[in-house]
Chains A and B, each alone.
Chain A
Amino acid sequence: MNIFRILGDVSHLLAIIILLLKIVKSKSCAGISGKSQILFALVFTTRYLDLFTNFISVYNTVMKVVFLVCAYITVYMIYVKFRKTFDSENDSFRLEFLLVPVTGLSFLENHSFTPLEILWTFSIYLESVAILPQLFMISKTGEAETITTHYLFFLGLYRALYIANWVWRYHTENFYDQIAVVSGVVQTIFYCDFFYLYVTKGRQ
């Protein structure tokens, strides 16, 4: 495992924990898109089904379980525990606009036409667009709490580091997964506009 991959995973974990702590400590999920969090829970669920079929490493298993548990706790916090603080009015992105094309594409373009592989592909495609309801919500309300922008920063950083990881693996291991790489690049592009605002506005 290379340094980009480790830092990417740490950054991903940090993003998830920042969001969860923000909600728990402020007892509020204002400004957070519940729809994006549902999509991330769905992403982890459909991708980590291999927890039941093959063992890769202790690190791999632990991280998968942590991501899954955190994703479901976050959804629980938004839709159950702090439901009253959830701004459902502005979380109005239509999920079918993402789910329908992503489902279709995962059946058409995958490594092999088997249930687990199609679900894995679905999770990769879905992750690349899962943040859109959150970005849509921010552009609609025109505001985001500082802590929410930190969450998005680490989530975007994780994606950028994974690209560096793939460049590294391509050169050192001849490793290349087209589905993951293309989706990963698409996903990272969505964060570029946010990164620009984070750096320029964040300093004021």
Chain B
Amino acid sequence: AAVVVGKDEL
């Protein structure tokens, strides 16, 4: 799976 940094989450 692609690892994406989830900065859109709170």
- Listed in ascending order, the chain A residues whose CB lies under 8 Å from chain B are 5, 9, 12, 50, 54, 56-57, 60, 63-64, 67, 111, 120, 162, 165, 170, 174-178, 180
Q: Is the CB of B8 within 8 A of A176?
A: no
Q: Is the CB of B9 within 8 A of A174?
A: no
Interface string of B1-10 (1 = CB under 8 A from A): 1111111111
Partner of B7, one of A5, A56, A162, A176: A56
Q: Is the CB of B10 within 8 A of A63?
A: yes
Q: Is the CB of B10 within 8 A of A64?
A: yes
Nearest-neighbour CB distance to chain B for A199, whole angstroms, equals: 26
Nearest-neighbour CB distance to chain B for A44, whole angstroms, equals: 9
Q: Which of B4, B5, B8, B10 has the most CB of A within 10 A?
A: B10
Partner of B2, one of A5, A64, A67, A174: A174
**Alpha-carbon gap, A111 to B3, bound state (A):** 10
Could you say which residues of chain A place their CB within 8 Å of the CB of B6?
175, 177, 180
**Alpha-carbon gap, A60 to B7, bound state (A):** 10
Q: Which 5 A-B pairs have the closest CB atoms?
A: A177-B6, A176-B1, A174-B2, A56-B8, A175-B4
A60: nearest residue on chain B (CB-CB)? B8
**Alpha-carbon gap, A12 to B10, bound state (A):** 10
A111: nearest residue on chain B (CB-CB)? B5
Q: Is the CB of A180 within 8 A of B9?
A: yes
Excluding A60-B8, A176-B2, 12 further A-B contacts by CB distance (< 8 Å) are A5-B9, A9-B10, A50-B7, A111-B5, A120-B7, A162-B9, A170-B1, A175-B1, A175-B4, A175-B6, A177-B3, A180-B9
Q: Is the CB of A177 within 8 A of B8?
A: no
A1: nearest residue on chain B (CB-CB)? B8
**Alpha-carbon gap, A54 to B7, bound state (A):** 10
**Alpha-carbon gap, A5 to B5, bound state (A):** 16
Could you say which residues of chain A place their CB within 8 Å of the CB of B1?
170, 174-176
Could you say which residues of chain B place their CB within 8 Å of the CB of A12?
10
B8: nearest residue on chain A (CB-CB)? A56
